Amino acid sequence: MDTSAGTAMPELRGRWASEWAFLAAGALLFIASAGATIYWSGTMSGNMPMSYGGTMFMAWMMPGQAWLSAVASFMAMWMVMMVAMMLPSLAPTLVIYRRSMRSVRRPDKTHLGRLTALAGAGYFFVWAVFGAVVYTLGVALTTAEMQWMALANRVPLATGVILLLAGCFQLTAWKAHQLTCCRGAPAWAKSLSSDVQGAWQYGLRLGAHCLLCCVGFMVILLIVGVMDLGLMVIVAAAITLERLAPRPERVARAVGIVILVAGVVMIARFAGMG
């Protein structure tokens, strides 16, 4: 009687059950974060003061709230939005990370779940730090726009220029390098220790590469409309395609061309208004 086959089957079933449980938890987290994002976006759109730039003003200034409360509100919205946008591309990477940890150490379900959670926490910690920086810059720019009408009148032109820069960024070798680093994350996961520190470092490193790779998308999102639901869906879809498509460089270039065209159209409209 082959005892190895008898012990391998329960172990294999346990692995599959663990993977399905992880994917189910990720799906529930995505649904919850997407629902909260939709709710916040609708609330802000329904209460926006149009004279101050709609959802852009509401996102940065949080009228009626104290400074600390406004910061907390923005960071909560930001992190919920980031989970909804980035989880579809992050989840497959974390699945491969879990498999890598199994091959290195064979941790039990509890330990493997803890490592995965820490890796995800490290990843989103990078986005939280970026969100804090973004909020500071956003408040400063919105305040300047409210005080100087000449600056506010040139926002469409500035947006068009930023779209052109973001589109050019999509075509650069640096963008391709960062995208390769993001997609190659499972390979360098094996070089890290399979402990708490290694999981945290893995998440930080993955988050840093992802942030650098997505900086063009993030700038567009922040300038055009940080709580614009349609734009969030488009950006999230583009990021996911870049991570999961067989030929990511082609996707990046195609998206870059679309962004360039959008920038040209916006600048042309501004020139026509003048």
pTM for the full model? 0.83
Contacts of 196 (CB under 8 A, 6+ apart): 114, 115, 118
How far apart CA 220 and CA 120 sit, in angstroms, is: 25
The number of beta carbons lying within 10 Å of the beta carbon of residue 229 is 18
At 54 the pLDDT is: 41
At 200 the pLDDT is: 92
Nearest to 255 by CA among 126, 167, 132: 167
At 130 the pLDDT is: 94
Low-confidence stretches of the chain (pLDDT beneath 70)? 1-16, 44-65, 104-109, 144-154, 184-193, 273-274
At 178 the pLDDT is: 86
At 179 the pLDDT is: 87
At 274 the pLDDT is: 57
